[in-house]
Amino acid sequence: MQYNPGWNSSSVNVLHVRAVGPADTLHYIWSSIGAPAVLLVATESRNSSLGINWSRLLSDSPAGAVWIDPPSSVVYATALVFAKVFEYRDTKAAEKLFYPTYDLSNFSWDSINHTLNPTALTAEFRGVPAADPSGSFSNGSVAFRVTAYEAGGRDGPLPSLLHTANSSKVEFVLAGVAPRGNGSRFALEVATVEELGVAQKLRSARSIDDEYTPTIFEMLSLGAESHNASSTLSFLQWKATAYGSRTPRREDSIQCWAESLQEANWTLPASSIVRAYFGEGVGTTYTVSAINISFGGEEGGLYQEKRYLSWSALLGFGQPPMDTFSPLVISITAVALGTPILMLLVGTCVVLFAQRKRYSEYEPIN
């Protein structure tokens, strides 16, 4: 991990996570300049490096301020932008009443230098609106917690996401923010930037195995797929749940669902790091899509009570990790299905044996 490489000030946040493989390098460049965003760049060189022109990056025209050396080593690049937070409530007319939107590009973000942990490979971007006329953020904040991984494994805290060394985790946290109405619910807008010829697809997978995330049987993923190949280039993956506690338990689960994926060229998120790498052609040379992740159960009661919401997602390159049936579930299923079958077989044998024994006590009649 590198914080603000080539820049001595902590007034802005750029976090570079570099993972070197046998013949390639993966780059994750996180930033809160403008809306919080992350660039994902895969190269076919072990020696590729990040270049930043800081004066241009912090100017009104940041195009070309971020690049990878050598440029020819880049095989794939994409970006995720966490653009807006919506607050709304349902009305009796089955319509949604939206409050003024929290545009994350207008937030003031703390320096991550205080939360950066190079040993644990974690950092936290925490921010509040630059202007807060409603006072909702007087005791609250929005945060994005970033975690990188050196190897495959599974997170301990719920939702216990399975990860690989090619992936990272981001956790969206809404803490202490006062709702502006009774029964408020929240939604996070996530935008993606892809090259032409690459399309995002939203997929849902269900499983009867909920050992690691109790009562949650659905996994959602947003995958980038090339029109010329069926393989997945990058992904954003999450369980269909959020949590209303700093130490989440099953009973703290908050309903989570995804709205339909939409083309978002008309609402291009303001993110300097995205424009700095992809240039001003974002929205024309590149495709921008957006999806809203919504949180809140019946009447949004759990957030009203605890004023805490956390949602975790995995992002990375290639295919997303897939859970297989655990030995515990396989054993339970085997016992549940095997016991009736075994009883049926034993019962059949007993009946056949009893019939043979009963008829063997009599002499055949001529």
Residue 293 within any structural domain of the chain: yes
Q: Are residues 140 and 176 in the same domain?
A: yes
| Cα angle 320, 254, 259; round to 5 | 60
> Rounded distance, CA 28 to CA 114, Å?
20
- Confidence at residue 356, expressed as pLDDT on a 0 to 100 scale: 65
Take residue 354 and report the two structure tokens written for it: 């009893």
Q: Are residues 250 and 353 in the same domain?
A: no
Above pLDDT 70, what percent of the chain? 89
Q: Which of 280, 245, 2, 251 is nearest to 118 (CA)?
A: 2
Residue 194 within any structural domain of the chain: yes
Q: Using one digit for the tens of pLDDT, what is the confidence trace for 69-101?
A: 999 999 999 999 999 999 998 776 668 889 999
Q: Are residues 358 and 236 in the same domain?
A: no
Residue 208 within any structural domain of the chain: yes
> Rounded distance, CA 213 to CA 217, Å?
8
> Rounded distance, CA 71 to CA 77, Å?
11
> Which comes out higher in pLDDT, residue 155 or 268?
155
Q: Using one digit for the tens of pLDDT, what is the confidence trace for 339-366?
A: 788 788 888 888 877 766 555 555 667 6
CB–CB of 272/33 below 8 Å?
A: yes
- Confidence at residue 93, expressed as pLDDT on a 0 to 100 scale: 63
Q: Are residues 96 and 240 in the same domain?
A: yes
Residue 48 within any structural domain of the chain: no
Q: Are residues 344 and 290 in the same domain?
A: no
> Rounded distance, CA 268 to CA 283, Å?
7
Phi/psi of residue 217, nearest 5 degrees:
-110, 10
> Rounded distance, CA 302 to CA 251, Å?
10
* Torsion sign across C-alpha atoms 277, 279, 284, 289: positive
> Rounded distance, CA 78 to CA 274, Å?
9
- Confidence at residue 340, expressed as pLDDT on a 0 to 100 scale: 81
Residue 323 within any structural domain of the chain: no
- Confidence at residue 270, expressed as pLDDT on a 0 to 100 scale: 75
Q: Are residues 137 and 226 in the same domain?
A: yes
Pairing type for strands 37-43 and 153-154 reads: unpaired
Q: Are residues 276 and 146 in the same domain?
A: yes
Q: Are residues 208 and 186 in the same domain?
A: yes
Contacts with 215 (C-beta within 8 Å, 6 or more apart), sequence order? 250, 253
CB–CB of 50/15 below 8 Å?
A: no
CB–CB of 79/190 below 8 Å?
A: no
Q: Are residues 267 and 340 in the same domain?
A: no
Q: Are residues 151 and 190 in the same domain?
A: yes
Question: Tokens 């291009």 correspond to what residue?
Answer: 268
Q: Are residues 239 and 194 in the same domain?
A: yes
Q: Using one digit for the tens of pLDDT, what is the confidence trace for 222-260?
A: 999 988 777 889 999 999 999 999 999 999 999 999 999
Q: Would the pLDDT of 283 be above 90?
A: no
Whether pTM > 0.85 for this model: the answer is: yes
Q: Average of pLDDT values for 172-180?
A: 96
> Which comes out higher in pLDDT, residue 172 or 229?
172
Q: Average of pLDDT values for 146-169?
A: 95
Question: Tokens 């607050």 correspond to what residue?
Answer: 87
Q: Which residues of 299-321 are buried (b: 16+ CB within 10 A; e: fewer)?
A: ebebbbebbbbbbbbbbbbbbbb
Q: Average of pLDDT values for 316-323?
A: 90
Mean pLDDT, rounded, of the chain: 89
Take residue 234 and report the two structure tokens written for it: 């990058």
- Confidence at residue 326, expressed as pLDDT on a 0 to 100 scale: 59
Cα atoms in the 13 Å half-sphere on the side-chain side of 213: 24
Q: Are residues 280 and 355 in the same domain?
A: no
DSSP-derived secondary structure for 125-167: EEEEES--TT-TTSS-EEEEEEEE-SS-EE-SSTT--EE-TTE
| Domain that includes residue 159, residue range | 77-317
Residue 36 within any structural domain of the chain: no
Question: Tokens 């892809």 correspond to what residue?
Answer: 194
Confidence of residue 330 (pLDDT cuts 50, 70, 90): low
Give the H/E segment covering residue 35: none
Q: Would the pLDDT of 333 be above 80?
A: no
CB–CB of 227/197 below 8 Å?
A: yes
Residue 8 within any structural domain of the chain: no
Take residue 16 and report the two structure tokens written for it: 């570079």
| Cα angle 28, 43, 273; round to 5 | 35
Residue 117 within any structural domain of the chain: yes
Quote the number of domains for the chain: 2
Beta strands in 149-285 (DSSP E): 153-154, 162-163, 167-175, 185-195, 198-206, 218-226, 232-239, 241-243, 253-258, 262-263
